[in-house]
């Protein structure tokens, strides 16, 4: 059983997000079960030896997710597509989990198809005019096609939250539901979202809970699960 399979057996995996504003290694709080490196926060991201060594350092210490977010899905800086691919290829080669946007995968399946296998395939909905549940249903087919490990959906639309929670029972693929509403994030933890992204060195998204609060909510999940057996 892989490291991520073991972690996901007691989901949600609490992921501490590191907005990488400079290429530095940080030890994380003990409650962090994994780390997400938001490399799109670097002003001049490049495929350098320094960045490779940084990624290697994190991977050697923690289960690591590498994210280089596109601007239209909440990315902080624009990134050269060739550099993004090289970083993903390198990260996957040393055991990191990649976060690849569904939109990017659909645009460039020949380039990102192999990388998507065993990775996170994600969608970020920032428009209230978009039905994120209907979009997620279609996205799941894409994630299954490319044999992703996890499908992740972030949405600002509170009205879609209950329907999105129903996707947690997809069965054949792990699903992470990340709402903007912080109260709904707590509910998502209790309901067993595959992942929950938590702040430790500054928030990288609206509604993000601190790792301390994420951990407290997850600790409540176990005793409350007894009601499922009543």
Q: Where in the chain are the domains?
A: 3-229
| Residues 143, 147, 151: CA angle, nearest 5 degrees | 35
Q: What integer pLDDT is reported at residue 228 of this predicted model? A: 54
Domain 3-229 coded CATH 1.10.3720.10: no
From CA 92, how far away is CA 192, in angstroms rounded?
Answer: 26
Asked if pLDDT for residue 226 goes beyond 80, the answer is: no
Helices (H), the chain: 3-8, 49-61, 81-93, 102-107, 109-116, 132-145, 161-166, 182-191, 211-224
Q: What integer pLDDT is reported at residue 149 of this predicted model? A: 98
From CA 182, how far away is CA 173, in angstroms rounded?
Answer: 25
Asked if pLDDT for residue 91 goes beyond 80, the answer is: yes
Asked if pLDDT for residue 229 goes beyond 80, the answer is: no
From CA 119, how far away is CA 121, in angstroms rounded?
Answer: 6
- pLDDT tens for each residue of 23-57: 999 999 999 999 999 999 998 899 999 999 999 99
């Amino acid at each position: 059983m892989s490291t991520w399979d073991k972690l996901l057996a007691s989901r949600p995996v609490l992921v501490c997000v590191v907005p990488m504003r400079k290429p530095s290694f940080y030890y994380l709080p003990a409650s962090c079960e994994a780390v997400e490196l938001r490399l799109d926060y670097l002003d001049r991201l490049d495929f350098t030896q320094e960045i490779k060594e940084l990624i290697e350092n994190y991977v050697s210490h923690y289960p690591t997710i590498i994210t280089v977010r596109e601007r239209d899905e909440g990315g902080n800086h624009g990134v050269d597509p060739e550099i993004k691919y090289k970083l993903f290829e390198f990260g996957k080669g040393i055991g990191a989990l990649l976060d690849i946007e569904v939109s990017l995968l659909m645009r460039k399946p020949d380039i990102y198809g192999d990388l998507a296998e065993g990775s996170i395939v994600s969608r970020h909905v920032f428009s209230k005019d978009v039905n994120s549940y209907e979009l997620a249903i279609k996205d799941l087919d894409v994630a299954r096609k490319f044999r992703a490990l996890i499908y992740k959906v972030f949405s600002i639309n509170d009205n879609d939250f209950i329907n999105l929670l129903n996707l947690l029972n997809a069965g054949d693929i792990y699903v992470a539901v990340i709402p903007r509403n912080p109260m709904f994030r707590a509910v998502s933890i209790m309901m067993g979202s595959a992942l929950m992204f938590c702040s430790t060195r500054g928030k990288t998204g609206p509604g993000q809970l601190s790792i301390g609060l994420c951990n407290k909510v997850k600790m409540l999940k176990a005793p409350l699960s007894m009601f499922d057996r009543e």
